[in-house]
Amino acid sequence: MIFAVFFAFWRFLQIITLIPTIGLLAYFVDGYNKLNALTPTYILILFIVSVLAGAWAIFTIFSYHRSSTNATFVALIDILFVGAFIGAVYQLRFITNADCSHVVSGSQTDVSLGIFGSATVNGLHVQVDKSCAMLKASFAFGILNAIFFFFTAVLAAMHGDRLSSRDQKTYVRESHSRRHSHRSSQAPPSRHSSHHSHRRVYV
């Protein structure tokens, strides 16, 4: 019961944060597709990981009974998503130093956002602050989901270990009872019963 509450809580947090992430990144992907341009890797990777993670989170929350019985497999997939989100946010790490609010001329390092403008790293020049803010929000959501999927992976792993130990105890109990019944069925008849069966009765 406790596992179900915590698992559902973190799954809902994942879904709530993944939906805006997919929407924000879909804005960039759609913009590049309309111009027949290649979507940058730092956007495309996080977008693909977010879509797959969202589908996985929705599937496991609506098929909870199957997820609880396959808790070890769920933990493995969640750990893989943790690594995928870490790699995705690493590709987008440059956006952490971008200033998306101030518009001041002069910069040392300019990061191009393609058709959506540019943002300055270690400076203050920003041409399109909306795109910069959207990427920074996607970056933050990616970090949050890496943490959230780690929590659900730990919960699923603990639940899987508990189920395996319970199954092992059940198997030992069943094998012991089966062995006991087998011995009782093969036990020779007692002396009293044999003597009673061979005793003659005179009328």
Work out the percent of the chain whose per-residue pLDDT is above 70: 61
Helix axes 129-186, 41-62, angle to 10 degrees: 40
Mean pLDDT of the chain: 76
Q: Where are the domains of the chain?
A: 2-161
pTM above 0.85, yes or no: no
Maximal CA-CA distance, the chain: 127
Cα distances from 185 to residues 79, 175, 196, in angstroms, run 50, 15, 20
pLDDT at 43: 94
Closest residue by Cα to residue 41 from 92, 97, 115, 80: 92
Lowest-confidence range among 53-67, 71-85, 139-153, 186-200?
186-200
Mean pLDDT across the stretch 112-140? 67
Alpha-carbon Rg of the chain, whole angstroms?
Answer: 31
**pLDDT per position as a tens digit, 88-103:** 999 999 898 877 765 4
Residues 6 or more apart whose Cβ sits within 8 Å of residue 103: 124, 125, 126, 129
Mean pLDDT of 132-138: 91
